């Protein structure tokens, strides 16, 4: 029995930062894919790119072995399966893709994060990467909240100071009489 050797490519869809929005770089680059991207549309775009770059040879080499094993629009991550002897051709085609393969797709970069011989190792790396992004987002949110809390405390302290040291209305509020 002959075993077919395969490679699994973990790929991230990375978006360029939007100068109009003030979002941290990690969050902007790792944002969800909002388009209606489906595995068949993704495969069609990849096959078209391989055909454009490598012609009939590339199309024939990847034809039977190329498939999308996992696609997450929330994390903009997917895992591709291809034959071991042609994974570099697939990687090259992904490098030259520059838009999400849907109608009027956003500009993006397809970044190969890991090449693995098993689906398990590729999925473990995807989980590890998602955890890292979530922790970075939590730290960013907590720093923004702490800055907001500090601003609110300063504002509250100023209002209290004005209330205590204020004019006649503050004396009446403190229960002091001029009589």
Residue 78 domain boundaries: 6-122
Residue 17 lies in a domain: yes
Residue 178 lies in a domain: no
- 79 has which bridge partners? 10, 70
Residue 94 lies in a domain: yes
Q: What is the phi-psi region of residue 105: left when phi exceeds 0, alpha when psi lies from -120 to 50, beta otherwise?
A: beta
| Cβ 108 vs Cβ 17: under 8 Å | no
Give mean pLDDT in consecutive 10-residue pieces for the chain, a chain of 179 residues.
87 78 56 81 92 91 88 89 92 91 84 92 89 80 70 66 55 49
Residue 156 lies in a domain: no
For residue 63, which of 79, 51, 77, 78 has the smallest C-alpha distance?
Answer: 51
Residue 107 lies in a domain: yes
Look-up of token digits 């094993």: 69
What are 40's two structure tokens? Answer: 């068949």
Spatial separation of the C-alpha atoms in residues 120 and 118, rounded to whole Å: 5
pLDDT at 169: 47
Spatial separation of the C-alpha atoms in residues 51 and 56, rounded to whole Å: 6
Largest interatomic CA distance in the chain: 107
- DSSP H helical ranges for 63-102: 87-96
| Cβ 124 vs Cβ 132: under 8 Å | no
- Domains held by the chain: number: 1
- 161 has which bridge partners? none
| Cβ 113 vs Cβ 12: under 8 Å | yes
CATH number at residue 83: 3.30.70.3250
Spatial separation of the C-alpha atoms in residues 125 and 39, rounded to whole Å: 20
Residue 152 lies in a domain: no
Residue 168 lies in a domain: no
Q: Give the end-to-end CA distance of the chain in Å, rounded to a whole number.
A: 107
Residue 89 lies in a domain: yes
pLDDT at 155: 66
């Amino acid at each position: 029995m002959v075993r077919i050797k395969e490679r699994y490519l973990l790929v991230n869809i990375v978006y360029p930062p939007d100068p109009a929005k003030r979002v941290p770089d990690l969050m902007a680059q790792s944002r969800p894919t909002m388009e209606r991207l489906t595995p068949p549309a993704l495969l069609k775009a990849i096959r078209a790119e391989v055909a454009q770059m490598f012609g009939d040879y590339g199309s024939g080499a990847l034809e039977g072995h190329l498939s999308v094993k996992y696609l997450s629009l929330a994390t903009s991550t997917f895992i591709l399966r291809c034959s071991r002897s042609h994974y570099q051709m697939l990687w090259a085609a992904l490098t030259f893709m520059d838009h999400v393969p849907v109608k009027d797709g956003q500009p993006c970069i397809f970044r190969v994060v890991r090449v693995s011989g098993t689906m398990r190792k590729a999925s473990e790396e995807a989980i590890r990467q998602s955890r890292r992004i979530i922790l970075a987002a939590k730290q960013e949110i907590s720093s923004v909240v702490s800055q907001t809390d500090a601003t609110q405390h300063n504002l509250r302290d100023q209002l209290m100071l004005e209330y205590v040291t204020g004019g006649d209305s503050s004396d009446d509020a403190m229960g002091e009489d001029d009589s």
